[in-house]
Amino acid sequence: MGNGKYHLGNGDFSKYLYEEVDTVEGGGLKAKVLQETNDNGTHHTSPPLFSHSSDIYMTRDPDTKIPSQARVYKNHEPNKDFDWGHDHKEHGVVLFPKGVVHVQTWTKGADGKWNRSKPRLMTQAEIDKYGALLKAADPNVKFTM
């Protein structure tokens, strides 16, 4: 995932690490699509841990160039991730196949480290709020298995 060391004291992340390559709009929401500036397209990249100028950032699959992950921020801090660009496995078992959105929420621990929850399917409220945006990014995305 993104790394806290990229976060600058004034609320910005290091701009040279990411560049905006597109925007996606749907359901009255807008997301900026980012790419790491040093990304050579050979590995999965994630949105930055902290936001700069958007409440939602997306990153693209390096092969298809279609967005495959979205991170929602609250007050520039990570709030939840929507990910559909890979099989999500635990102990070798596929819990969520590629193409099905799984959600992980972020919390800040007492030690100051950011942690993500175990993955789950989207709630109906999340589908109602974010579904059109995710479908605008990738028309093939699924909300159920």
User: What pLDDT is stored for residue 78 in this prediction?
Assistant: 94
Residues 15-44: tens digit of each pLDDT: 457 788 999 999 999 999 988 776 555 444
Averaged over 74-93, what is the pLDDT?
A: 90
Which tokens go with 20? 């905006």
Tell me which of 29-33, 59-63, 72-76 is least confident.
59-63
| pLDDT score, position 8 | 53
pLDDT at 9 over 70: no
Q: Which residues contact 43 (CB under 8 A, 6 or more apart)?
A: 62
Q: How far is CA 55 from CA 31, 106, 134, in A?
A: 7, 14, 14
- What is the token pair recorded at 32? 């900026």
What is the domain partition of the chain in residue ranges? 4-137
Burial string for 26-35 (b: 16+ CB within 10 Å, else e) reads eeebebbbbb
If you write DSSP's letter for every residue of 14-67 in order, what string do you get?
-GGGEEEEEEEEETTEEEEEEEETT--SSS-----SS-SS-SEEEEE-TTT-SE
Tell me the pLDDT tens digit for each residue of 90-117: 888 888 999 999 999 999 999 999 999 9
- The whole-angstrom separation of Cα 51 and Cα 59 is 13
Stated pTM of the model: 0.83
Residue 65: how many other CB atoms lie within 10 Å: 13
Q: Give 52: exposed, middle or buried? Use CB within 10 Å, 0-12, 13-18, 19+.
A: buried
Is it the case that residue 4 has pLDDT exceeding 50? no
Choice between 6 and 142, residue whose per-residue pLDDT is larger: 142
Q: What is the pLDDT of residue 42?
A: 47
* Two structure tokens written together for 82: 């929507």
